[in-house]
Amino acid sequence: MSQRADGAQTYVGGSGKEIIGYYTLVVGHVAYEEASDRLVKGLSRNAVPVMLLARLATDLAWQGKGVGAGLLRNAMQRTVQAADIAGIRAFLVHAKDDKAKAFYEHFNFLPSPTDPYHLHLLVKDIRKIMGA
Protein backbone atom coordinates (compact mmCIF):
# COMPACT_ATOMS: atom_id res chain seq x y z
CA MET A 1 0.00 0.00 0.00
CA SER A 2 2.80 2.47 0.85
CA GLN A 3 4.39 1.98 -2.56
CA ARG A 4 1.14 2.79 -4.38
CA ALA A 5 0.92 5.98 -2.31
CA ASP A 6 4.56 6.82 -3.13
CA GLY A 7 5.50 6.40 0.54
CA ALA A 8 8.01 3.59 -0.01
CA GLN A 9 9.81 1.74 -2.78
CA THR A 10 10.34 -2.04 -2.66
CA TYR A 11 12.95 -3.92 -4.69
CA VAL A 12 12.86 -7.68 -5.21
CA GLY A 13 15.77 -10.07 -5.80
CA GLY A 14 15.20 -13.27 -7.68
CA SER A 15 16.75 -16.41 -9.06
CA GLY A 16 14.91 -17.53 -12.15
CA LYS A 17 11.22 -17.21 -11.27
CA GLU A 18 11.86 -17.55 -7.53
CA ILE A 19 11.80 -14.53 -5.20
CA ILE A 20 14.78 -14.90 -2.88
CA GLY A 21 14.68 -11.58 -1.03
CA TYR A 22 13.56 -7.99 -1.02
CA TYR A 23 14.14 -4.62 0.59
CA THR A 24 12.15 -1.43 1.04
CA LEU A 25 13.51 2.12 1.07
CA VAL A 26 11.83 5.16 2.62
CA VAL A 27 13.08 8.74 2.77
CA GLY A 28 12.97 10.29 6.22
CA HIS A 29 14.82 12.45 8.70
CA VAL A 30 16.41 12.35 12.13
CA ALA A 31 15.84 15.20 14.57
CA TYR A 32 19.05 17.17 15.05
CA GLU A 33 18.86 16.71 18.82
CA GLU A 34 18.66 12.89 18.51
CA ALA A 35 21.47 12.49 15.98
CA SER A 36 25.03 11.43 16.74
CA ASP A 37 27.79 14.05 16.60
CA ARG A 38 29.17 12.45 13.45
CA LEU A 39 25.77 12.57 11.75
CA VAL A 40 25.33 16.32 12.33
CA LYS A 41 28.94 17.48 11.99
CA GLY A 42 29.02 20.50 9.69
CA LEU A 43 25.23 20.76 9.36
CA SER A 44 22.84 23.49 10.46
CA ARG A 45 20.52 22.70 13.38
CA ASN A 46 17.79 21.21 11.19
CA ALA A 47 16.45 17.70 10.78
CA VAL A 48 19.00 15.45 9.07
CA PRO A 49 17.77 13.93 5.77
CA VAL A 50 18.21 10.15 5.59
CA MET A 51 17.29 7.06 3.62
CA LEU A 52 15.74 4.37 5.82
CA LEU A 53 16.01 0.69 4.99
CA ALA A 54 12.49 -0.10 6.18
CA ARG A 55 12.69 -3.82 5.37
CA LEU A 56 15.33 -6.34 4.30
CA ALA A 57 14.44 -10.01 4.06
CA THR A 58 15.93 -13.13 2.52
CA ASP A 59 14.09 -16.39 1.86
CA LEU A 60 15.08 -18.95 4.51
CA ALA A 61 16.46 -21.31 1.86
CA TRP A 62 18.82 -18.58 0.65
CA GLN A 63 20.05 -17.24 4.00
CA GLY A 64 23.80 -17.44 4.55
CA LYS A 65 24.48 -17.40 0.80
CA GLY A 66 25.22 -13.68 0.39
CA VAL A 67 21.75 -12.66 -0.78
CA GLY A 68 21.16 -10.27 2.13
CA ALA A 69 24.58 -8.68 1.62
CA GLY A 70 23.86 -8.28 -2.09
CA LEU A 71 20.49 -6.69 -1.42
CA LEU A 72 22.07 -4.36 1.15
CA ARG A 73 24.77 -3.31 -1.34
CA ASN A 74 22.08 -2.62 -3.93
CA ALA A 75 20.13 -0.52 -1.41
CA MET A 76 23.30 1.39 -0.56
CA GLN A 77 23.94 2.03 -4.26
CA ARG A 78 20.40 3.35 -4.72
CA THR A 79 20.86 5.58 -1.67
CA VAL A 80 23.98 7.13 -3.20
CA GLN A 81 22.08 7.68 -6.47
CA ALA A 82 19.25 9.39 -4.57
CA ALA A 83 21.77 11.50 -2.63
CA ASP A 84 23.16 12.75 -5.95
CA ILE A 85 19.70 14.13 -6.76
CA ALA A 86 18.54 15.36 -3.34
CA GLY A 87 20.33 15.81 -0.04
CA ILE A 88 20.63 12.58 1.93
CA ARG A 89 23.17 12.55 4.74
CA ALA A 90 22.98 8.93 5.88
CA PHE A 91 21.51 5.47 5.42
CA LEU A 92 19.60 4.17 8.47
CA VAL A 93 18.46 0.74 9.56
CA HIS A 94 16.45 -0.46 12.55
CA ALA A 95 17.87 -3.85 13.47
CA LYS A 96 15.27 -6.22 14.92
CA ASP A 97 17.68 -8.20 17.11
CA ASP A 98 21.34 -8.82 17.95
CA LYS A 99 21.89 -11.02 14.90
CA ALA A 100 20.58 -8.33 12.56
CA LYS A 101 22.60 -5.67 14.40
CA ALA A 102 25.79 -7.71 13.92
CA PHE A 103 24.97 -8.10 10.21
CA TYR A 104 24.80 -4.32 9.74
CA GLU A 105 27.84 -3.66 11.92
CA HIS A 106 29.78 -5.98 9.58
CA PHE A 107 29.14 -3.28 6.94
CA ASN A 108 30.42 -0.53 9.30
CA PHE A 109 27.01 0.76 10.41
CA LEU A 110 27.25 2.65 13.71
CA PRO A 111 24.66 2.60 16.52
CA SER A 112 22.59 5.65 17.36
CA PRO A 113 23.17 7.36 20.73
CA THR A 114 19.44 7.01 21.45
CA ASP A 115 18.95 3.32 20.49
CA PRO A 116 21.69 0.73 19.87
CA TYR A 117 19.43 -1.07 17.37
CA HIS A 118 19.11 2.04 15.21
CA LEU A 119 22.24 2.11 13.08
CA HIS A 120 23.51 4.46 10.41
CA LEU A 121 26.17 4.83 7.77
CA LEU A 122 27.03 8.21 6.26
CA VAL A 123 26.57 8.50 2.50
CA LYS A 124 30.20 9.63 2.19
CA ASP A 125 31.23 6.33 3.82
CA ILE A 126 29.02 4.37 1.42
CA ARG A 127 30.76 6.13 -1.46
CA LYS A 128 34.12 4.97 -0.09
CA ILE A 129 32.88 1.39 0.37
CA MET A 130 31.36 1.31 -3.12
CA GLY A 131 34.33 3.05 -4.73
CA ALA A 132 32.03 5.76 -6.08
Q: What pLDDT digit, counting tens, does each position of 45-64 carry?
A: 888 999 999 999 999 999 99
Confidence band, pLDDT 50/70/90 cuts, at residue 1: very low
Residues annotated as part of the active site = 104
Compute the distance between CA of residue 118 and CA of residue 96 in angstroms, rounded to an integer.
9
pTM recorded for the entire structure: 0.88
Question: Which of 96-100, 119-123, 128-132 is predicted with the least confidence, judged by mean pLDDT?
Answer: 128-132
Alpha-helical runs (H) found in the chain: 37-40, 67-85, 98-106, 123-130
CATH number of 9-130: 3.40.630.30
